Chain A
Amino acid sequence: DAGVIQSPRHEVTEMGQEVTLRCKPISGHNSLFWYRQTMMRGLELLIYFNNNVPIDDSGMPEDRFSAKMPNASFSTLKIQPSEPRDSAVYFCASSFEVGETQYFGPGTRLLVL
C-alpha cells in the first residue's frame, strides 16, 4: 500500500515567492494533518482537516499560510509570500477515524533564501 505521499521532497526558493506543498493521504483516511518541524520549535501542528473540512487552524502562523483540501485525496499548503523563517520540514499525516493513529509522509524540506 502506498503511504502518505508528499511533493516536492525538496524546495528551494527566494524570499517573496509563493510556495505550494502537496499531500496525498492514504486512501480511506478521513483526517489529514499538516505539521512543521524546526530545530527551535520541534514538531508543530499547523492545521488539520476531517472529511475535507478544516477543523483547527490555530497553529497556522499567520495569514501568509493557507491550506486547502478540495477532495479526499489531495491537500495543499501554500505560503505566500515566503520568508526565510519559513524554512523547515513540512510533514503531512493522515489517519482513519477509528483509532486515530497518524501515518506521516516523508516530508518536504523547504529552504527560503
Chain B
Amino acid sequence: GEDVEQSLFLSVREGDSSVINCTYTDSSSTYLYWYKQEPGAGLQLLTYIFSNMDMKQDQRLTVLLNKKDKHLSLRIADTQTGDSAIYFCAEKRGSARQLTFGSGTQLTVLP
C-alpha cells in the first residue's frame, strides 16, 4: 500500500514507551486499524478507531488520530520484549470492504 506509509524500523528499551506512526492519504477513510504480526504468525487485530474519534485507549495501547494531517499513531506504554513484532496500520476507505495496509513497522524491544 503506497498510500499508507509507515517507518520500517523502531527500537526501544524495555519499559519505555513506543510510538509507531502511520500516514494515509484518503480522506474518506472510515476505520483505521492496527495489527500485530509476530514471527511466523498471522496478523492479529490489536485495535481500531473510527474516523470521527481522536483517541482510543485500551490498556497499554493508545491510538491517536489526526484527521486533518491524516496521521495515525499507536503508543505502547511500558513496552515489553513480548511486544517485539511487526505492526501494520490499515485503513478502510469509504464503502470499500477491503483494507489498505501499510508496509509494517518492525518494533524491536531491547532489554
Contacts and interface: CB of A to CB of B under 8 A. Distances in A.
Nearest to A43: B101
Contact of A43 (B31, B48, B88, B92): B88
B48 A104 contact: no
A31 B99 CA distance: 12
Interface residues of A, number: 21
B27 to A, nearest CB: 18
Contacts, number: 45
Interface in B29-53: 31, 33, 35, 41-45, 48
A31 B97 contact: yes
Contacts of A42: 1, 101, 103-104
A50 B42 contact: no
B98 interface: yes
Contacts of A48: 97-98
Contacts of B44: 104
Contacts of B88: 43
A93 B48 CA distance: 16
Contact of A50 (B1, B35, B92, B97): B97
A28 B44 CA distance: 19
B99 A102 contact: yes
Nearest to A97: B97
22 contacts: A31-B97, A33-B98, A42-B1, A43-B88, A43-B104, A50-B97, A55-B97, A91-B43, A95-B97, A99-B31, A100-B92, A100-B97, A100-B99, A101-B33, A102-B33, A103-B45, A104-B43, A104-B44, A104-B45, A106-B42, A107-B41, A107-B42
Given A93-B43, A103-B45, 17 more contacts: A33-B98, A42-B104, A43-B43, A43-B88, A56-B98, A91-B42, A99-B31, A100-B31, A100-B92, A101-B31, A102-B45, A102-B99, A104-B43, A104-B45, A106-B41, A106-B42, A107-B42
